[in-house]
Every structure is written in C-alpha cells, then in structure tokens.
Copies of this chain bind each other. A is one copy, B any other.
Amino acid sequence: MKQVLIVRTDIKMGKGKIAAQCAHASISAYEKTPFAKKNLWKISGQKKIVLKADSEKELRDIEKTAQMKNIKTALIRDAGHTQVEPNTVTALGIGPDEDGKIDEIVRKLKLL
C-alpha cells in the first residue's frame, strides 16, 4: 500500500509551501479512502512518495485515470494568500491504495 503526492513544479513554491500542499493532499485523499485500505496502509507504515508534474493538465489527466480505476484522489487548490495566485491547483493526492494499481498511473513521473 502507498500514497502518492504529486506537486506542480511549473509554479514557484518554497519548500515549506510544498510541504503544506502535500500535507493537505495527503489528508484529503486519505479521508476519502475506505476504512480497510486506510488501516492496511497505516499498519504497513504509511508509505508516501512525493512526485512532480509539469502542469495543471498533467495533474488533471492523472486524476482522471485514477478515478477511472476507482482510486481516491484529492486535487488541491491554494487560497493563494502568499506565493501563488488565488485558486491555483498546486498538488494531487492519490490513495492510499495497492502499490501495483498506483504504479500503473504514475509510472512516468519523477521523484520531487
């Protein structure tokens, strides 16, 4: 089991901002995930992988693919008080779900 957090690298965010967006994506996708999967993931150590994407379109395409495979997702928009424009899509949380199912979707993305 793992959870994947994908961050846009085509918008400028400091490392604290990135961490906050990832935490937001993590909790939001986690909350949508069924209890049994949540539990399996916690027992196995809450594995999380942080990846990068080049554009909002890339995040949205991955979101669609995940949804078609019935994997829970959370697309994060930032209120934009500080580093980015209001309502900017910043990150996408996926799962937790089975490693194989998630790998299929994010295979082409690189580690942040």
**Size class of the A contact interface (CB-based, 8 Å):** 20 to 34
Q: Which residue of B has the minimal Cβ distance to A52?
A: B16
Bound CA span A51–B19, Å: 10
Of B19, B24, B79, which one neighbours A18 at CB under 8 angstroms? B19
How many copies make up the complex?
2
Bound CA span A14–B21, Å: 16
In the complex, whether A57 has a CB less than 8 A from a CB of chain B is no
A52 to chain B: which residues have CB within 8 Å?
A: 16
In the complex, whether A45 has a CB less than 8 A from a CB of chain B is yes
A88 to chain B: which residues have CB within 8 Å?
A: none
Please state if A20 and B50 are interface contacts (CB–CB under 8 Å).
yes
In the complex, whether A89 has a CB less than 8 A from a CB of chain B is no
Show the binding face of A for B, using Cβ within 8 Å. Answer: 3, 5, 7, 14-28, 30, 45-46, 48-52, 79, 111-112
